Chains A and B, each alone.
Chain A
Amino acid sequence: MSAAQAMPGSNPAALARWRQARRRGHMAVLAVTSLLLALSVWAVQGSVIPGTDWRRMGGFAEVVTGFGRFLPPDPTLLPTLFEPAVQTILIAIIGTLLGAVMSLPVAVLGAANLRPLGMPGYLLARGLMTMSRSIHEIVWALIFVSAVGLGAFAGILALACRSVGFVSKLLAEAIERIDMRPVEAMKAQGARPLDMVRHAIVPQLLPIGLGTLIFEWDINVNRAAVLGLVGAGGLGLTFHNQLIASNYAGVTTVLLTILAIILVGEAISVRLRRRLV
């Protein structure tokens, strides 16, 4: 670092340039801030003010008492939450596993360096990845509930389809980054293709793949809890029942249970991923 850069004051030309850059920076910040402010005003006036039921909401005191009804949580509900909680966790696990199985062909097709089916296969795989991510899990669940009926199966399929996008994208990136030297070394030794995949490619992909899966499972527990709202069972269904019964304290209990499951799941997933890396 030169002295002029460190201390602009020692060089008049540098000082002028520094001041100009600083002013330009301030102008940019000001421009962005006023743009965002204008957008917010537009959004509030265009949607929030006309689109909210202000009369139903009432005054500040009513809102506070409204939130107050959620407290304290209802502990008598806890014993009945065990089974739905187990269901939610299992739906998340099976959905993630199925998603992983479905991700493998998509990732291979969508890896830019392989393209086993050429450009059409590549585009198809990339399209599937985008579709999978841009369609919300609720919508996936709706589609599958109409195909296989209410129940955990629809939830599993929805989670699997929702997971394919993220998992196969990361897997495809991992395939694109594969170190080809071990593969070539085995080829030079006369290894069979299957052995090459088994001993030179799989070991490179396994840590990334497993890490992604654990991460995705973590998110899927969160999603599984919401799928019950559209008929896929688990904690979402319990939440829905408490909601219909207007049992606000019970709603809080369900929320706290979901929170506890997610916290434990996150702790497990962090530990597992740390062990992998």
Chain B
Amino acid sequence: MSSTNTLMVLQKRRRRSLLRFLLLLALGAGLWLTLQYLNVRLERFATLFDRLGTLLATRYYPPDFEYIMRPRFLQSVLETIHMALLATLAGLLLAIPLAWLAAFNASPLPGVGKSAARVFITGARAIHEMIWAIVFIMVLGFGVLPGVLALTLGCIGFAGKLFVEEIESIDDAPVEAMRAAGAGPLAVFFFGVLPQVRTAFIGIGIYTWDVVFRSATVVGFFGAGGMGWYLRRTADQLQSDRVAAIILLIAALVVVSEVISHHARTALEGRTGQRVLAR
């Protein structure tokens, strides 16, 4: 009895390990075929670090810090901050009503309005803000406004989804109580929904600022305003030392902005005693 049991266990184990082996083999073959299809030459991978090393050491180093201190460049940095600021504010202001429309438990228009808001938020998310920027440039011409609009859409896509998730996880009892008492949809939103999500919304808003600012540093790459344009120009002219300086500046600005927003979020958590953001 026990020997047949052992036999069965062994057999099962062997079968499973065979299955696992075949799966790994199939994965490996798939990977190889994919790399062939995409025309990736793995032999280049061996020399990659070498080439990247020499490239960084000879062309990107030393960074041309003098370039990023020029007044015209600094003006574009300020422009970047302006764009991120406007896009975050406009995006958050638009994302809140959209999220309200899109949330299944609180939507004032559960039919068409909910679906339309969902499609809008998902569409804004699905398309990269860089592509939005190009689309807006095609209509509005080069400049700051298309950049702000593209970033606003990106902000709506990013914050909108988090807002919807937040609204959908509220306690429905106050909402239902207000509805039963005959409150209108606006009253329900302002006094039933908003107090429950206010802290989380502020936290998400601060987090969104980080994301939008990061995008704003490069959204000008195709001519949508801000410092991205200088990145494009120096990269096209192979002025790698200037590219290096710009990249380092972007990294520094992002870190500063992240430190500030981290402090703001911790302060918010300390004041309200609520966990502001799960992620």
Contact = CB atoms under 8 A, between A and B. Distances in A.
Interface stretch (A88-96, A104-112, A114-122, A201-209): A88-96
Nearest to B90: A40
Most buried by B among A70, A93, A142: A142
A239 interface: yes
A48 interface: yes
A196 interface: no
Given A94-B38, A153-B38, A43 B85 contact: yes
A39 B87 CA distance: 12
Given A40-B89, A152-B40, A258 B83 contact: no
Interface in B70-128: 78-79, 81-83, 85-86, 89, 122-123, 125-128
A239 B132 CA distance: 12
Nearest to B37: A90
Given A52-B144, A130-B255, A259 B225 contact: no
A48 B145 contact: yes
A233 B38 CA distance: 9
B141 A53 contact: yes
Interface in A48-69: 48, 51-53, 56-57, 63, 66-67
A226 interface: yes
B131 A134 contact: no
Nearest to A260: B126
A134 B214 contact: yes
B131 A255 contact: yes
B39 A63 contact: no
Contact of B143 (A53, A233, A243): A53
Contacts, number: 163
A258 B128 CA distance: 10
A148 interface: yes
A251 B247 CA distance: 30
B44 A47 contact: no
B78 A46 contact: yes
Given A135-B250, A222-B126, A51 B44 contact: no
A114 to B, nearest CB: 22
A91 B38 contact: yes
Given A93-B34, A94-B34, A136-B218, A51 B143 contact: yes
Contacts of A131: 251
B162 interface: no
A36 interface: yes
B128 A222 contact: yes
B34 A142 contact: no
B52 interface: yes
Nearest to A226: B128
A73 interface: no
A259 B122 CA distance: 8
A87 interface: yes
Contact of B254 (A134, A146, A157, A258): A134
Contacts of B34: 90, 93-94
Interface string B135-168: 1001111111110100000000000000000000
Contacts of B231: 139
B235 interface: yes
User: Which 8 A-B residue pairs are closest in the complex by CB-CB distance?
Assistant: A51-B144, A56-B141, A43-B82, A134-B254, A66-B139, A262-B126, A52-B143, A152-B38
Interface of B: 31, 34-35, 37-41, 44, 48, 51-52, 55, 78-79, 81-83, 85-86, 89, 122-123, 125-128, 130-131, 134-135, 138-146, 148, 214-215, 217-218, 221-222, 225, 231, 235, 240, 243, 247, 250-251, 254-255, 258
22 contacts: A40-B85, A46-B78, A46-B82, A47-B78, A48-B145, A51-B225, A53-B141, A90-B38, A91-B38, A130-B258, A138-B218, A143-B52, A148-B48, A152-B39, A222-B128, A225-B127, A226-B130, A229-B222, A233-B38, A243-B138, A251-B138, A259-B123
